Structure 1
Amino acid sequence: MNAPKDFHYRMPRRIGGQRPGAHRSVTAGSGQEFIAHQTLFDRPDPRRLDLRASVRDPEQRWLVRVTRQRAGIPVYLVADVSASMAFGSTATKLERLAEFARSLGDSSFWMGDALGLLAFDRTERTDLMLAPMRSRGAGLMIAEALLRSRADQPSSAGLAEACMRIAGRQALVFVASDFHAPLPELGKAFDLLSHAHVVPLVIWDEVEPQAPDGDGLLALRDIETGRRRGLWLRPVIRRRWKDAFAQRRADLQKMFADRGMRPFYMTGAFDADALSRYFFEAV
């Protein structure tokens, strides 16, 4: 496989945490961002002594500089491995997701953040779970785990189960799926991640939004349930197909907006530059 191109991400707000990293934090420590002066008695750290401020102090106190340190944050990829992710024209959605995972591994490594994996189909896939690790090979391990998984379960209802593991934690969470599950089910899962910064990664194939060209009888098979049916293609059906997909996108957009989230749509190959722009716009 070709080497993945990494992307750049920044948290849009300050984070907590004691482990040093690249993100703005609320934690006082060894950093370059000045907060205030305190007396040497209140903060006994002679290394931070500010002689100029001490000389100007009307009470003639020894003053030290208090600064904020930068901190790291755990990064999670919550991946849908249900049957619909096996669909694809030039490459399956799962292969596109693995491509993203490899890029995320390199990106989180350069940022000094730990990267972990949670996966789901009808239930949580604990066999694919990887604890957060600070390793340059974390993305490759996740990509290989995703490609080895069998996408044969006819549902993605396990999203809430997977999200329960990180509910209440401060983290950067990428939830990757085609999001064809019912909206109330998706909403309940995302409500569990209110303390995290969540990036919904909507993975669609290039051929999904529009019906095939031409008129005639089309044999269809539901990739999730395996159910077969026939559909007579004609202009009105193609228009309804396109309108239904546009409505689905609008409904997803509203569900995410109601929770303060902004989705990233990945139609076709993963574009690292586009995801970098997504984070720059958010910040």
Structure 2
Amino acid sequence: MAFGSAASKIQRMSEFALSLGDSVFRTGDALGMLAYDASERTDLMLAPMHSRGAGVMMAESLARARADQPSTAGIFQACSRIAGKQALVFLASDFHAPLEQTSAALDLLSHAYVVPMVIWDEVEPKAPEGEGLLALRDIESGRRRGLWLRPQIRRRWEDAFAERREALEKLFSSRGVRPFYMTGRFDADALSRYFFEAV
């Protein structure tokens, strides 16, 4: 989630949190936040509250967050806190982690109305331009390696993203939920259309 061309995915999530805070306050509902990486991130947790500033607090916490642990194993621990509760849950992630983890979390959230927010950067689905040796650094592990970029690798890169999207669609539709794809800046109108289409 630390990756981003114009802004990191966490910064994009922060934009969403600000907008969500305004919307929830106007409807009079409570708003809270759970977070995770390798384990539950209690430093980012916000207990549900009725406050005009809830979205601002969430956005500021996310803006300061450091993605130190390259794992999403804590998703089950975080979602356990709201297991069995009826709520509107925005499950925001780039969903590049093993889907078994997401599946287990969805089991815990079976009583909630879940909106999976798939946050991808604009440049992710397309392989870089040009050919030749490309120096890469894994943003989560920090490891460096080289990749010889050629037409076959470019096709595999783009096919991998298409396959991931298909796998996500299959997982979410099997649970009766539809993902919201957020590529680039958060678009409140697009999310409104998502809910109108669901109705």
State the match for 1:86 in structure 2.
2
State the match for 1:159 in structure 2.
75
Taking structure 1 as the reference length, what is the TM-score of the superposition? 0.69
Does 2:10 align with 1:101? no
State the match for 1:187 in structure 2.
103
Give the Cα–Cα distance (whole angstroms) in 2 for the partners of residues 215 and 237 of structure 1: 10
5+ residue gaps, structure 2, are: none
Task: Give the helix-richer structure, 1 or 2.
Answer: 2
State the match for 1:112 in structure 2.
28
User: Shift of residue 86 of structure 1?
Assistant: 1.0
Does 2:156 align with 1:240? yes
Q: Match of 1:153, as an amino acid?
A: Q
SS at match of 1:208: coil
Aligned length: 199
User: Shift of residue 90 of structure 1?
Assistant: 0.4
Taking structure 2 as the reference length, what is the TM-score of the superposition? 0.98
Provide, for residues 83-138 of structure 1, a one-character-per-residue CA deviation record: whole Å limited to 9, x for no partner.
Answer: xx111000010100000000000000111110001010110001111111111111
Q: Match of 1:88, as an amino acid?
A: G
Task: Give the strand-richer structure, 1 or 2.
Answer: 1
User: Shift of residue 189 of structure 1?
Assistant: 1.1
Provide, for residues 10-65 of structure 1, a one-character-per-residue CA deviation record: whole Å limited to 9, x for no partner.
Answer: xxxxxxxxxxxxxxxxxxxxxxxxxxxxxxxxxxxxxxxxxxxxxxxxxxxxxxxx
Provide, for residues 55-88 of structure 1, a one-character-per-residue CA deviation record: whole Å limited to 9, x for no partner.
Answer: xxxxxxxxxxxxxxxxxxxxxxxxxxxxxx1110
Q: Identity over aligned residues, as a percent?
A: 75
Matches within 5 A, 1:1-283: 85-283=1-199
Give the Cα–Cα distance (whole angstroms) in 2 for the partners of residues 281 and 154 of structure 1: 35
User: Shift of residue 186 of structure 1?
Assistant: 1.3
SS at match of 1:95: helix
Give the Cα–Cα distance (whole angstroms) in 1 for the partners of residues 66 and 8 of structure 2: 13
After TM superposition, the structure 1 stretch with the greater mean CA deviation from structure 2, 181-190 or 95-104, is 181-190
Give the Cα–Cα distance (whole angstroms) in 2 for the partners of residues 226 and 154 of structure 1: 9
SS at match of 1:220: strand
Give the Cα–Cα distance (whole angstroms) in 2 for the partners of residues 184 and 95 of structure 1: 26
SS at match of 1:154: coil
Structure 1 ranges of 4+ moved more than 2 A: none
User: Shift of residue 265 of structure 1?
Assistant: 0.3
User: Shift of residue 228 of structure 1?
Assistant: 1.4
Which protein has the larger Cα radius of gyration, Structure 1 or Structure 2? 1
State the match for 1:59 in structure 2.
none
User: Shift of residue 185 of structure 1?
Assistant: 1.6
User: Shift of residue 183 of structure 1?
Assistant: 1.1
